[in-house]
Amino acid sequence: MADSIVSAASVIAAGIAVGLAAIGPGIGQGNAAGQAVEGIARQPEAEDKIRGTLLLSLAFMEALTIYGLVVALSLIFANPFSS
Amino acid sequence: MTSNLYLDYNPTISTLPLADLEVGKHFYWEIFGYSLHGQVFIVSWLVIGLILSASVLATITLNQVPRNNWQNIMEIVVEYVQGIAKNQMGSNFGEWVPFVGTLFLFILISNWLGALVPWKLIHLPEGELAAPTNDINTTISLALATSITYFYAGLKKKGFSYFKKYFQPTPVLLPINILEDFTKPLSLSFRLFGNILADELTVSVLTLLVPILIPLPIMILGLFASSIQALIFATLAAAYIGESVEGHH
């Protein structure tokens, strides 16, 4: 009985972890991409440099979601509380 | 409620023989009472062998004007890696090119090997061969090597005055400056591990649902993302080393 409650709580928590962790980086990536497009529109000759920097910073933001994903995965596959 | 740490709660979901979804199953080697994840070692040795043989092939007949194709290719690689180090460290980057380059090449080759080679065809008693970087032990050891290296770089350059940087803007920030030394390897290792594992899981889940054609775009995205992750790891390592060499004076 206790185990099924733990499983249910873990699954819900895993879903919430990824969902919440996706909000902030989503907003941030949108902002960054928008600004990059603006920058390219203003200075098309700087496109290569802007693209490189954009990809690097997008990957940094992506990492924040990935932290949520790691928590979710460890809740599902390596749950410390399931017996 | 009993709480045993890391019990083997490993569900294996399976519909087709080529589309098993396994997480947390390992091919254990018992050596001197320690259990090692064998599949990580096998693929790591393969990666090391590949990089070594490419380097040996490139340097076996060195010419001023390269006549050997391997020398051409590896010169491009070396220049790229030097570019990464140079961008982050400015002048006197030369000393750290080998470290940064090793990180970049090892991570890149292991990510791509894990994604491109059909490891499912090789059967292990338990677990399966995959990219070494989807095991957290690999990424943590790479991140700790980076930590040790930037401490070594700073101490070698400045001696004990290296520790002045902890008091740098104001002594009030001392706890945060110390905490930074712990969050750096943590974020480095988790970023790489999470990205690679996430790629492989997405592909596995999609393969579970639709076994052909549909996972292909995600696989290509995974190849792109894993090369970016290798670049980021190397760039950050170079930036940390550069930071501790330059200082905030």
Task: Report if residue B32 sits inside a domain.
Answer: no
Instruction: Report the distance separating Cα B115 and Cα B79, nearest Å.
Output: 26
Q: Quote the pLDDT of residue B20.
A: 54
A66 neighbourhood in chain B, CB within 8 Å: 190-191, 194-195, 198
Q: Residue A23: is its pLDDT beyond 90?
A: yes
Which pTM was predicted? 0.82
Contact call for A79 and B5, based on CB within 8 A: no
Q: How far is A82 from chain B (nearest CA, A)?
A: 7
Q: Mutate one of A53, A70, A75, A79 to test the B interface: name it (highest B CB count within 10 A).
A: A70
Who contacts B208 (Cβ-Cβ below 8 Å, separation ≥6)? Answer: B13, B15, B16, B19, B21
Q: Quote the pLDDT of residue B9.
A: 43
Task: Report if residue B31 sits inside a domain.
Answer: no
Q: Mutate one of A54, A55, A73, A75 to test the B interface: name it (highest B CB count within 10 A).
A: A73
Task: Report if residue B158 sits inside a domain.
Answer: yes
Tally the domains of chain A: 1
Q: What is the CATH number of the domain that holds A30?
A: 1.20.20.10
Mean pLDDT to the nearest integer, A8-20: 92
Write phi, then psi, for B31 (nearest 5 degrees).
-130, 120
Asked whether the beta carbons of B141 and B119 are under 8 A apart, the reply is no
Q: What is the ipTM for the molecules in this complex?
A: 0.73
Task: Report if residue B26 sits inside a domain.
Answer: no
- Stated as kind and residue range, the H or E segment containing B141 is helix B136-158
Asked whether the beta carbons of B227 and B108 are under 8 A apart, the reply is yes
- pLDDT tens per residue across all 249 residues of chain B: 333 334 344 445 544 444 455 666 778 888 888 888 888 898 999 999 999 999 998 888 887 887 778 888 888 999 999 988 888 887 778 888 999 999 999 999 999 998 888 877 887 777 778 888 988 889 999 999 999 999 999 998 888 888 888 887 888 888 888 888 998 999 899 899 988 988 888 888 888 888 788 889 988 999 998 998 999 999 999 989 988 888 655
Task: Report if residue B45 sits inside a domain.
Answer: yes
- Stated as kind and residue range, the H or E segment containing B12 is none
- Name the residue with tokens 């045993």: B4
The pLDDT tens digits for A42-82 are 999 998 889 888 888 888 888 888 889 888 888 888 787 87
Question: A82: helix, coil or strand?
Answer: coil
For chain B, what's the residue count? 249
Report the candidate in A8, A55, A50 with the shortest Cα–Cα distance to residue B231. Answer: A55
Task: Report if residue B34 sits inside a domain.
Answer: no
CA distances from A68 to A5, B9, B113, B169 (A): 22, 20, 26, 32
Q: Quote the pLDDT of residue B31.
A: 82
Task: Report if residue A57 sits inside a domain.
Answer: yes
Residues of the domain holding B58: 39-246
Q: Quote the pLDDT of residue B124.
A: 77
Q: Tell the burial category of B212 from Cβ atoms under 10 Å away from its Cβ (0-12, 13-18, 19+).
A: exposed
Of all residues in chain A, what percent carry a pLDDT higher than 70? 96
Task: Report if residue A82 sits inside a domain.
Answer: no
Tally the domains of chain B: 1
Q: Quote the pLDDT of residue B176.
A: 87
Residues of the domain holding A39: 2-77
Instruction: Report the distance separating Cα A35 and Cα B143, nearest Å.
Output: 32
Asked whether the beta carbons of B202 and B88 are under 8 A apart, the reply is no
